[in-house]
Structure 1
């Protein structure tokens, strides 16, 4: 495989999952770790990615407030507008993190009534500056890769909550494995988010469907709604609609 082909695959994986691990790329591309590290170094030098310990993240995820090019932004905006239809005045709402959640945070109406709890400092700031809704940040150690609060303090705080609905992003979703992710700390937070809510809505672009990451968050039956940019009647959603509401 040519270097340009490898680097295009790396960029696609980073755009899709926000973060990739060097070891996973080595297996995917069937090349040595040193080759992957050289590719990542060149991609960072050209300003296309940001290297982190053990891998790389997308620039849109690394500096979201500087408004760089966000991967699949229009699709994420469509998902966000659909998710907003589930908001009702007076609700207690939990929100996870990620670029798709930031799009939702940016369109919450100024006069929305209720409370938003979130583990994402970025989401909390977006909601607070654009809406009069009450915002409570669930605080803890801030992940350098995911920009959400993680750790035992966060899990403890979430265990004391009982909210109407939790909105969670997806790194992978499949009928067989359910909701999955590659970060152990983030998985524990997502589990706690879902446990604290009467209902869970998963927000993701369609490229995340039929993908399984290494760690399982919860099976499909734990999810009440799936929100993508696709029409609810799209054939790609048929197998998911058997287990949950699709928007």
Structure 2
């Protein structure tokens, strides 16, 4: 199937590893020019860019920097003159790097507010920066990467889950707004616990629980999540918008 991505410009945030790495290489394999963002790990991002070749552009991007979204959009436009797809994949895990083993009311204000603001505001701010470009071209795709924690929950993940759930509401309403101005679609992909090259310890600790619940009896790999993201961000997707697509192996 021709996904209609040749020559299109795709921004993938958080593309230096994990699911983001596979999303970026997946779009590149379909002929897209890919803007890869990273926060601190430039060396890993360079490796992804090396895999892609001259159709990759590296741009530093920090979700918590109010000026970063505009700078990223300017860099992409200066490179190819266009933006067609935005994948909001970057994530802020908080100071603990995952679920916290304490009551949610005991989490310091600085920690839980940062988790909410960086994850929700970061994605929304970048979507706002990209939207005028998509409206002018009357074509575009937004794909926001969420988490099954937004609907299934887990003790210790209250604020991260809340931030990801915010993407669901934003994307649904944005689909109506953007759809009035052209072939512009907005969707959420909601992975479960996914085995990646950066989360081996977490996958080993919790994987057996989710594998036991899954009809396929295993965790998905990052490439298996990236495939649906690439499809939703492509021209082959002509009618899926305003949806939350669960990619969890059936959990």
Which TM-score tier does this pair reach, normalised by the shorter chain?
0.3 to 0.5
Higher relative contact order (CA 8 A, sep 6+): 2
Point out the structure with the larger helix share: 2
TM-score with structure 2 length normalisation?
0.40
